[in-house]
Chains A and B, each alone.
Chain A
Amino acid sequence: MEIFGRPLSAMLSQLLLGLVNGSFYAILSLGLAVIFGLLNVINFAHGALFMLGAVLAWMGLEYLGVNYWVMLFAAPLIVALLGIVIERLFLKRIYKLDHLYGLLLTLGLTLVIEGVLRSFYGVSGLPYSAPEALSGATDLGFMVLPNYRAWVVLASLVVCVGTWYVIERTKLGAYLRAGTENPRLVEAFGVNVPLMVTLTYGFGVALAAFAGVLAAPVIQISPLMGQNLIIVVFAVVVIGGMGSILGSILTGLGLGIIEGFTKVFYPEASSTVVFVIMAIVLLFRPAGLFGKEK
């Protein structure tokens, strides 16, 4: 069967690949949005911490023989601890300054993290294979579904929806949203806002590391793997606007799918299509699809 002169099976497999990339965009832009909401910092280091998650998964297997499933929880935890240290040591001291210093500081941290790992592992890819339970593929009749990719999409959706639920439907989330609105007032009600800020940053970067572990078997692991991704995620954030959690998830997934289709129809543009969409959205809805004009 063919659609617009392209075989359906090729389209479906690109659609799935797009969904996989879209899942990473969704988790990463979600983390960026949560962090920006409370800290007013655009976390450039998000890409580097995503990479760190993947490298930790590799290190766990290589040095300690710890398998994928353990690292899927251990790596985000380690990165969250690192994030907490970063927040307490550095970010905490610059909240009062212009936003641009937050971006520059996290850019510096990105270069440091990447530089350290580069001096150990170089820039070539480190091999990492999917766990045995998820290797292989399922034949659905109309297409062959690689199990691991299906797992990535499923796991990302669960994490994204879970995050949305916690933030929008629980008491903890209510504190968080109130803190985003007016931190001083929330503090006056006896909520420990600085602690909440620290933990939020830890949680946001843990999301990035979780995506990194998920990505480890499907993307070449290298110290530079987060660099290009974070710039695309910035574009995703501009397109979606950082106002809504659900908005970041939908935008991330949608752009991944569009990117996948671009690979089928016009592969030359697949690396730029997200940026083109960003430009178009800026012309018609400067605040982003889900953003509110201040």
Chain B
Amino acid sequence: MVNKQFLGYALLLLALIAAPFLGAYPILVIKLLCFALFASAFNLLLGFTGFLSFGHAAFLGSAGYAAGHVMKVWGWTPELGLLAGMVAGAALGGLFGLFAIRRQGIYFSMITLALAQMFFFFCLQAPFTGGEDGLQGVPRGKLFGLLDLSSDLVMYYVGLVIVVAAFLLIVRTVHSPFGQILKAIKENEPRAISLGYDTNRFKLIAFMISAGLSGLAGALKTEVLGFATLSDVHWSMSGSVILMTLVGGLGTLSGPLVGAAVVIALENKLGEVGNWIAAVSGIEWFKSLGESVSLVTGLIFVVCVMAFRRGIMGEIIALRDRLRAKR
């Protein structure tokens, strides 16, 4: 069974390596991969420690601004830019964590949301973010001063390597003794405490890892697209990443990847889907579906919570287990 899983990931990786030659636009794919990494980092926190952070946009966005600023204004090389983004995300995560882990459950979500909103207003007013216009024209630069990233194809493969490495790190974290302790805290915190674990420290570290990897995703996004904007720090981005994880499958490793693909595709293709429905059903209203992204995401949220809590990959895994049990 492990082999089959491995085969699945290998096929996905092969497809991603071949994607630019199969007609996929590399920048779109790498943007999708950034969100897949973002959702995986988010899921590391929610799925494996049970903390619903409603402020992850702040980590994605702060890293985007940090990476953009050091590369554009200070002329740092891309690898240092990515590192700066990751550090910015992790540091902000540590700061948020100091406040947020003092409360549990639903309060944790509200506190992270409020802190992220505070950070949003900070970004709106701070001079280096460019306010409403955002940070524009970030140069891609040369990796280690050698490899020119201005070619989309080179950028794509560098980005792919980074995302795959980060994903492997997440897999490793989940299966490490550290990951097991996180699971123990999720299942029964008082027992974990009585076993002698300083649970607050573990929670804070998990929060910082998740924030740092979200930061990496944000920095890579800025590196690829060349800009960082306020929409990345807005709370609706935190909502998006929750939706990706929920649709893909909470607490599964592959779920966030699938979820990110579904949600991003939906946001980009909703207009076309609407036109198609309008053509088939003859109802004019559907033609404006492309402008109602929030309405559709809201409906998906409702459907997921009411009837589809395991998400796509969660359902597949459950189906597989049921079939295996019959055999």
Interface residues of A (CB under 8 A from B): 36, 42, 90, 93-94, 97-105, 107-116, 118-119, 227-228, 231-232, 234-235, 237-238, 268, 271-272, 274-276, 278-279, 282-283, 286-287
Contact = CB atoms under 8 A, between A and B. Distances in A.
A116 B298 CA distance: 10
A98 B105 CA distance: 9
B242 interface: yes
B322 to A, nearest CB: 21
A213 to B, nearest CB: 24
20 contacts: A93-B306, A94-B306, A97-B309, A103-B54, A104-B301, A104-B304, A105-B301, A107-B239, A107-B242, A108-B298, A108-B304, A112-B298, A114-B298, A118-B292, A231-B114, A231-B235, A235-B110, A275-B115, A279-B99, A283-B99
Contacts of B99: 279, 282-283
A231 B110 CA distance: 8
Interface string B217-236: 00000000000000000010
Interface string B134-178: 000000000000000000000000000000000000000000000
A116 B106 CA distance: 27
Contacts of A237: 110
Nearest to A42: B106
Contacts of A227: 235
Nearest to A41: B106
A102 to B, nearest CB: 8
A116 B103 CA distance: 35
Nearest to A235: B114
A238 B111 contact: yes
Nearest to B285: A119
A87 to B, nearest CB: 13
Interface stretch (B28-36, B77-85, B117-125, B191-199): B117-125
Interface of B: 50, 52, 54, 99, 102-103, 105-107, 109-111, 113-115, 117-118, 121-122, 125, 235, 239, 242, 246, 288, 291-292, 294-302, 304-306, 309
Nearest to A105: B305
A105 to B, nearest CB: 4
A108 B300 CA distance: 7
Nearest to B116: A231
B122 to A, nearest CB: 7
A55 to B, nearest CB: 16
Contact of A115 (B50, B52, B106, B295): B295
A238 B107 contact: yes
B125 A268 contact: yes
A120 B116 CA distance: 30
A232 B239 CA distance: 17
Given A111-B295, A112-B295, 9 more contacts: A104-B304, A109-B302, A114-B294, A115-B292, A115-B295, A119-B295, A238-B107, A275-B114, A279-B99
Contacts of A228: 117
Nearest to A90: B306
A239 to B, nearest CB: 10
A275 B235 CA distance: 15
A100 B110 CA distance: 11
Contacts of B110: 42, 234-235, 237-238
A111 B121 contact: no
Contacts of B52: 100, 103
Given A231-B114, A282-B102, A111 B297 contact: yes
A235 B288 CA distance: 36
A137 to B, nearest CB: 31
Contacts of A283: 99, 102
A98 to B, nearest CB: 8
Contacts of B302: 90, 105, 108-109, 112
B206 to A, nearest CB: 16
Contacts of B292: 115, 118-119
Contacts of A118: 292, 294-295
A99 B99 CA distance: 20
Of B107, B113, B292, B297, chain A has the most CB atoms within 10 Å of the CB of B107
Of A94, A98, A111, A272, chain B has the most CB atoms within 10 Å of the CB of A111
Given A109-B302, A234-B113, A99 B121 contact: no
Contacts of B298: 107-115
A259 B170 CA distance: 42
